[in-house]
Amino acid sequence: METKATLILKNGTIQTMVGDETAQAVAVCGSEIIYVGDDAGAEAFAGEDTKVIDLEGKYVSPGFIDGHTHEVMYLIDEDTTFFFETVEPKLEVYKEAFAKFVAERPDNEMYYGNSLDMNAFPEGFVTNDWITEICPDKPVCITDMSQHCFLMNAKALEMAGIDRNTPVPDGANIFKHSDGEPTGFVADAMAFMGKLPARERTQKKYHDAFLKFQDTCNSYGITAVDIAGPTIPAEQAWEVFHDMEEAGELKVRVNCTIMSFTEAVVNKERGREYVKLLDEGQKYNSDFQRVSQAKGIIDGVPEAKSARLMEPYAPEAGEAADYIGPVYIDPEDLKGFTEVVNGAGYQVQIHAMGDGGVHYALDAYEHSWKVNGEGDYRNMIAHVTLIKPEDVKRMAELKVIGTMQPLWWYYDPNFSPLEEQNFGTERFKTEYHIREMMDAGIMITGSMDYPVQPDYRPLAGIQVGATQSSPYPGQCDDPAYVRNADQAVTAREMLECYTTNGAFEMKMEDLIGTIEVGKKADMVVLEQNILDCPVKTISETKICCTIMNGEVVYEG
């Protein structure tokens, strides 16, 4: 036998994700899997220079794929931003910590913050008096945990041109006191941010931040990511990834979506602009990168009452009796956008969290099918917090992928209380009916929407999907963290979300997602078999080793 392996894994349980097949061993030559089978068969590929890893009974899965991330937002801004998730979510603690941050940086022209927890404020009503007191003469802008809302001090409001008479942009919300004065808190109002000093986000800074991000990914067993909107313009990110690949620096495979964070314009004309950029980006397609996606946003987030609903928000939301939330863009424009992008052969992803937003997204995809014909579009809806039963069926029929975040499926302390308050308890119980979605035939991919969800470990997501409870020790057995227990799916189904389904979404199923001859050697070695261990121990399973493209990129 002439071909010799560069790497052999033996004496373990190899979960191939090809049906229910398992194996003892796998052999790799360079970046490619050349053998999957028993130990004796693998040993035939051993040569003098072959690296052999004795698994000693450990478990091997295809490398995990995160299907929806915003990657380096935190890392690229860590020198100019205070991260509120690092302190206890109490207003007095926030005041003390942020005042210290500002005092230590007297030369900054502006101060930023990230991940403000709305639960730190009475009844989730966020106001800016405390940051105006800390910094009255320079602008302050703080994002909430969802990254859809901003809290601005009085100076930033002035610079952004927001007062009691400011018209509310489509899809946005400007929160006000009872006297009509703005509180400083706005939702889905990126148009105002362009009037504030811009943070420096260069390709060099993006490259350096991405190196850190992918190191963490590899430590979690992640070998591929679908980027739902990069921190810099997508065409710049594609170039960075290409250069990293050429330099041998890229340790995760990527599919990076083109979108605009600053302009709520999604229509036929914008679709044509994106198609032109996607066409130009085809030169970057490789085994490491696919360029195939464009994104639009139809609504906001439940906790900010900017998700679009089919029926009015609950009275506890404090809005008008007929308030159903805004739409970011005209649903007819979304149809035109989808028609153009799909017609050119590219995928469309739509952010939709309310059942009204999801309904409009499906209308757009149905329109595209009627105009362009049924096809393998692999369109996506991100989040799908609420969906009507009739739209579950329609989503399956249109073969729309749900790019979803399992750490939002249990009763988490950050988002769940506000969602329950704004939707009402009965409607809140209809969120994230995963079992019903899968049974209807909807493909779901697993992700954490980092940095919205700071913990983006796939193992945590797999456990949540299988328990519908917290994945954290001390909480996983507490019924206070459980919701929709009847919507639990199997650990195997969750593993599919993070492997085969993710590969399909990224248009990389020809390369990754399974362990079989001819595929790329992207694998993760785990301390225990996560399909037959106690389900509440999955999240804490040790990542022993991560292999990407035949190279060991992490050892635990």
User: Which two three-digit tokens encode residue 32?
Assistant: 């490619």
Q: Which of 344, 331, 302, 332 is nearest to 319 (CA)?
A: 302
Torsion of CA 276, 277, 283, 285, to 10 degrees: -110
- pLDDT tens figures, 371-411: 999 999 999 999 999 999 999 999 999 999 999 999 999 99
| Euclidean distance between CA atoms 513 and 379, whole angstroms | 19
Q: Which CATH architecture has domain 201-505?
A: Alpha-Beta Barrel (3.20)
* pLDDT attached to residue 124: 81
- Per-residue pLDDT tens for 216-251? 999 999 999 999 999 999 999 999 999 999 999 999
Does residue 93 register a pLDDT over 70?
yes
Tell me, what's the pLDDT at 211?
97
What average pLDDT does the chain have?
A: 94
Residue 41 binned pLDDT confidence (cut-offs 50, 70, 90): very high
Q: Give the model confidence (pLDDT) of 181-203 as tens digits.
A: 999 998 877 777 777 877 788 99
Domain boundaries, the chain: 7-63+518-555, 78-193, 201-505
- 78-193 placed in CATH 3.40.50.2300: no
Q: Which of 371, 296, 280 is nearest to 337 (CA)?
A: 296
What are residue 552's phi and psi, to 5 degrees?
-75, 115
Measured in whole angstroms, how far is the alpha carbon of residue 396 from the centre of its chain? 21
Least confident stretch, 66-75, 114-123, 495-504: 114-123
| Cβ neighbours around 70 below 10 Å, total | 18
pLDDT 10s digits, 128-181: 999 999 999 999 999 887 777 889 999 999 988 899 988 887 777 888 998 999
Torsional class of 136: left (φ above 0), alpha (ψ -120 to 50), beta (otherwise): alpha
Domain 7-63+518-555 annotated CATH 3.20.20.80: no
pTM here is 0.88
Residue 1 has pLDDT above 60, yes or no: no
Residue 265 — pLDDT band, cuts 50, 70, 90? confident
Give the pair of three-digit tokens for residue 506. Answer: 């990224």
Minimum mean pLDDT range among 196-205, 397-406, 492-501, 535-544: 196-205
